[in-house]
């Protein structure tokens, strides 16, 4: 009974509060203050510096008249800041029963422009290309309109550039603007003394976590190098992204003003050494699945790491392990020993495989990761009526890059990968082959709520005999990430009995549009086409459909309804998948 009595009181309180807000808002209505003859930038500055523009209808008449009388000075000050020193103003003030209206017709006149610009840099910075490049963008030039705000920002940028490039004793000896109102011109005389450039001192790290040699590999800073703030930022980003540390703090105090050096002290807190993970999910290709993971981020002070993952489903199960360690530069190069067991049972093939490999990963170019590897692979496989075993020593190189990848809804970006691998019977393999695999995915915003996503996957194999290739080396199409509307890996060449046996080559492509109809929810429409094939006997299978996207905290979850166009009697097939867009 008590709760029922509280509801009318709450409703009455909300109604009273709403009425009070309406009354207060009505009483605080802002009067009309109209400025004509100004462009958008000029009016914005005039309004910001004019007290009258913010006065309401309920203000006392004497206050309005005083501010109106003083408005000429405020308007002229606002325009002088933008380089207009000769403004003329015609104004009027009108009252009615409820409020008042002020009108200002402004003729800004001719702008003051720089007639002479002298900017002298004394000291080491005079020949420092890094420093000079940082101040070039906003540098005043002859015949440019005198904008005091832009000039002030330029002065600030000079000081900021000096601090970023190691000129810690720098200051202005002179910075003066002389305005000739009659000639509508201005002369700038600026003299900046940079002094001597400071240089890096020793870089020290918190002891007891990793060896000094490993930590020094995270920076290119050497004692005696010219100081730059960019080098400090790069050191911070490298350490923070290494997985070794939970906290990174870098100090450059106190400066050695006598020796003109900057000491760098890095304070580190180690991250949790052992990490366990568990997860699960569902996709149409694999059905319900579960994941277990274990990682040791810091086996020893050399930075060695170990990681193991177990994945289980009715279609595919695997256990993988990797032991990895950094080379001289842990930002760019790592070695790994990997091993794993895999069981896969699809509608078209079944195989059990073991892999043992050695790989070297290295950052190359801009954002590219190159991985060179040597794998020993043993496989027991069944494809159609073929039951066989295969032993391969595979040598390959992979290149991969991704721009704009995000856990939630990505906006613009792309992902590219290229893999070249092969085996030879002269090097211990049962057969010889050379294979090229390439994948590309691209997405772009078409507006605030619409995106287009395109992907293509190609593969080509040169081999002596397809029958000698294990199932894991052959190409199959169809499924969640290939051609939707068709079952997982059911598209490809068939034998005399009509059973899919896989192909030497592959081509898959997709085009998709999605529309965000509310936060974290989107509708999609797509068309996929592809096939696995031999030689040039390609017969593309195409699927079309619509989908629903939920951008969950753990990543996008996709529900698709796809219809296979090559089999019009077939019903829609439902596809469920998850993972980043790129």
Last residue of a domain, one of 107, 127, 157: 107
Q: What is the 3-state secondary structure (H, E, C) of 107-169?
A: ECCCCCEEEEEEEEEECHHHHCHHHHHHCCCCCCCCCCECCHHHHHHHHHHHHHHHHHCCCCC
The set of residues, in sequence order, having a beta carbon less than 8 Å from that of 369 and lying 6+ positions away, is 361, 362, 363, 399, 400, 401
Q: Are residues 537 and 573 in the same domain?
A: yes
Long-range contacts of 145-154 (CB under 8 A, 24+ apart): 145/82, 145/83, 145/111, 145/112, 145/113, 146/83, 146/111, 146/112, 146/113, 146/114, 146/177, 146/179, 146/186, 147/81, 147/82, 147/83, 148/80, 148/81, 148/82, 148/83, 149/81, 149/82, 151/177, 151/188
Q: Are residues 426 and 521 in the same domain?
A: yes
Q: In the chain, how many domains are there? A: 4
Q: Are residues 394 and 254 in the same domain?
A: no
Q: Are residues 123 and 87 in the same domain?
A: no
> Could you report the per-residue pLDDT of 99-124, keeping only the tens digit for each?
999 999 999 999 999 999 999 999 99
Task: Output the domain CATH number for residue 185.
Answer: 3.10.20.310
In a domain, 22, yes or no: no
In a domain, 320, yes or no: no
Predicted local confidence at residue 384, as pLDDT: 83
Q: Are residues 438 and 559 in the same domain?
A: yes
Predicted local confidence at residue 29, as pLDDT: 66
Kindly compute the dihedral angle of the four CA atoms of residues 385, 391, 393, 397, in this order, to the nearest 10 degrees: 30
Task: Output the domain CATH number for residue 403.
Answer: 2.40.160.50
Q: Are residues 380 and 522 in the same domain?
A: yes
Q: Which residues of the chain have pLDDT under 70?
A: 1-29, 568
> Could you report the per-residue pLDDT of 60-79, keeping only the tens digit for each?
899 999 999 999 999 999 99
In a domain, 363, yes or no: yes
**How far does Cα 189 stand from its chain's mean position?**
42
Q: Under a CB-based contact definition with an 8 Å cutoff, are residues 23 and 39 in contact?
A: no
Q: Are residues 437 and 539 in the same domain?
A: yes
In a domain, 188, yes or no: yes
Q: Are residues 356 and 262 in the same domain?
A: no
In a domain, 151, yes or no: yes
Q: Are residues 227 and 371 in the same domain?
A: no
- Whole-number Å distance between alpha carbons of 252 and 163: 12
**Three-state secondary-structure class, residue 211:** coil
Residue range(s) defining the domain that contains residue 125 = 113-193
Q: Are residues 373 and 263 in the same domain?
A: no
Helix 61-80 and helix 40-49, axial crossing angle in degrees, nearest 10:
130
Q: Under a CB-based contact definition with an 8 Å cutoff, are residues 304 and 211 in contact?
A: no
In a domain, 288, yes or no: no
Q: Are residues 485 and 359 in the same domain?
A: yes
Q: Are residues 433 and 565 in the same domain?
A: yes
In a domain, 520, yes or no: yes
DSSP 80: H
Last residue of a domain, one of 79, 107, 135: 107
Last residue of a domain, one of 193, 210, 232: 193
Q: Under a CB-based contact definition with an 8 Å cutoff, are residues 561 and 576 in contact?
A: no
In a domain, 90, yes or no: yes
């Amino acid at each position: 009974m008590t709760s029922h009595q509280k509801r009318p009181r709450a409703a009455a309180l909300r109604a009273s509060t709403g009425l009070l807000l309406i009354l207060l808002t009505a009483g605080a209505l802002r009067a009309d203050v109209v400025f004509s003859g100004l462009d958008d930038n000029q009016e914005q500055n005039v309004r910001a510096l004019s007290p009258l523009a913010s006065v309401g209808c309920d203000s006392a008449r004497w206050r309005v008249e005083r501010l109106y009388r003083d408005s000429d000075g405020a308007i002229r000050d606002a325009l002088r800041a933008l380089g207009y020193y000769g403004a003329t103003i015609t104004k009027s003030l009108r009252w009615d029963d409820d409020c008042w209206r002020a009108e200002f017709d402004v003729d800004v006149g001719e702008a003051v422009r720089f007639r002479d610009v002298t900017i002298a840099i004394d000291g080491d910075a005079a020949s420092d290309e890094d420093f000079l490049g940082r101040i070039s963008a906003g540098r005043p030039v002859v015949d440019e309109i005198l904008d005091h705000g832009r000039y002030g920002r330029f002065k600030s940028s000079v000081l900021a550039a000096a601090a970023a490039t190691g000129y810690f004793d720098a200051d202005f000896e002179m910075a003066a603007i002389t305005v000739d109102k009659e000639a509508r011109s201005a002369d700038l005389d600026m003299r900046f003394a940079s002094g001597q450039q400071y240089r890096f001192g020793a870089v020290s790290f918190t002891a007891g976590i990793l060896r000094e040699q490993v930590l020094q590999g995270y920076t290119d800073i050497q004692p005696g190098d010219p100081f730059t703030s960019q080098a400090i930022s790069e050191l911070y980003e490298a350490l923070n992204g290494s997985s070794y540390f939970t906290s990174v703090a870098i100090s450059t105090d106190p400066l050695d003003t006598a020796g003109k050096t900057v000491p760098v002290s890095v304070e580190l807190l180690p991250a949790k050494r052992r990490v366990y993970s568990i997860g699960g999910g569902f996709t149409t290709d694999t059905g319900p699945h579960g994941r277990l993971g274990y990682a040791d981020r810091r086996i020893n002070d050399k930075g060695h790491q170990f990681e193991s993952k177990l994945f289980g489903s009715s279609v595919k199960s695997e256990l993988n392990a990797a032991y990895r360690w950094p080379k001289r530069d842990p930002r760019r190069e790592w070695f790994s020993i990997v091993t794993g067991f895999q069981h896969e049972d699809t509608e078209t093939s079944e195989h059990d495989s073991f892999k043992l490999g050695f790989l070297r990963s290295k950052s190359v170019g801009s954002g590219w990761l190159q991985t060179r590897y040597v794998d020993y692979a043993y496989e027991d496989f069944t494809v159609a009526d073929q039951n066989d075993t295969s032993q391969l020593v595979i040598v390959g190189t992979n290149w991969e890059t991704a721009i704009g990848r995000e856990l939630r809804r990505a906006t613009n970006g792309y992902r590219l990968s290229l893999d070249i691998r092969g085996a030879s019977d002269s090097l211990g393999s049962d057969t010889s082959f050379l294979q090229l695999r390439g994948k590309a995915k691209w997405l772009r915003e078409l507006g605030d709520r619409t995106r287009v996503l395109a992907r293509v996957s190609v593969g080509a194999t040169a081999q002596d005999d397809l029958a000698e290739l294990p199932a894991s080396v052959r190409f199959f199409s169809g499924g969640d990430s290939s051609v939707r509307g068709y079952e997982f890996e059911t598209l490809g060449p068939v034998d005399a009995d009509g059973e899919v046996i896989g192909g030497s080559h592959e081509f898959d492509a997709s085009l998709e549009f999605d529309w965000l109809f509310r936060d974290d929810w989107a509708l999609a429409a797509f068309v996929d086409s592809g096939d696995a094939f031999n030689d040039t006997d390609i017969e593309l299978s195409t699927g079309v459909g619509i989908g629903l996207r939920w951008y969950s905290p753990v990543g996008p979850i996709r529900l698709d309804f796809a219809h296979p166009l090559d089999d019009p009697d077939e019903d829609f097939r439902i596809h469920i998948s998850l993972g980043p867009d790129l």
